[in-house]
Structure 1
């Protein structure tokens, strides 16, 4: 027997995700970042702050993104002077990534905007921690 769409977890997750993505996109528009650009910039910045100049594969794995798409988006972030990509001395096929000073400022502003958006979006839940507990095993 078919479920009513409102009783389908996948259907509801789809709609929640779309609403949340629209809210995130609106928060990032003033910073001239797409959602995926934000994720990759913030991931690179986070890894840099831990003393690691990551390569593109490390960033893709941390962010959960496709490696080829990651490379394309990182090139766009480089064109915006938010990151620098340098040939890895240990492996000339790889690129090491460093967030520029301007990129670090943008990353921190974007993280603040996204966290505020998340707080507003999920803050209406009676127990946001319960949502995290449900999502963690699903995130893989």
Structure 2
């Protein structure tokens, strides 16, 4: 069956993703964060609340981001006073991350703003269906033998 571009799942996903990214950016701009800054701050904050002080590699893995880009964004978050990078006593080459008081105040507010965007964006789809579909799409699948 030939699909028009408007019926192509990839093309539709592209447009949905662009719309979602615009909505996220609009919610985060008043808080002074880019989307990737938000993701790294939120992940670091969450890990800190679990008693962990991750290094940059651990944070990049948690967030699903490139390690070099993570380092650059963390420098920006550090410059904003939201994150502190401390030398890891166990490995002096590594930097352990701690969210500052300012960052710990901002992270939950940013998370709430993003969750509101998600709630509005995904309103047309039952939440369980959206989570199931996106969970499948987010994980690599073995190649079909067809």
The TM-score with structure 2 as length reference comes to 0.92
Residue 16 of structure 1: aligned partner: 16
- Alignment partners' CA distance in 2, 1:124 and 1:135: 15
1:39 aligns to 2:51 (yes or no): no
2:121 paired residue number? 121
Matching residue of 2:27: 27
Structure 1 stretches of 4+ moved >4 Å: none
State the alpha-carbon separation in 2 of the partners of residues 70 and 46 from structure 1: 16
Deviation at 1:8, TM superposition (A): 1.2
Partner of 1:5 in structure 2? 5
- Which secondary structure state, in structure 2, belongs to the residue aligned with residue 93 of structure 1? strand
2-structure distance, mates of 1:2, 1:32: 45
Q: Which residue of 2 aligns with 1:137?
A: 136
In structure 2, the partner of 1:62 is 62
Shift of 1:2: 5.2
Structure 2 unaligned segments of length 5 or more: list them: 140-146
Measured after TM superposition, the shift of residue 92 of structure 1 is: 0.9
How many aligned positions are there?
139
Provide the residue aligned with 2:142 in structure 1: none
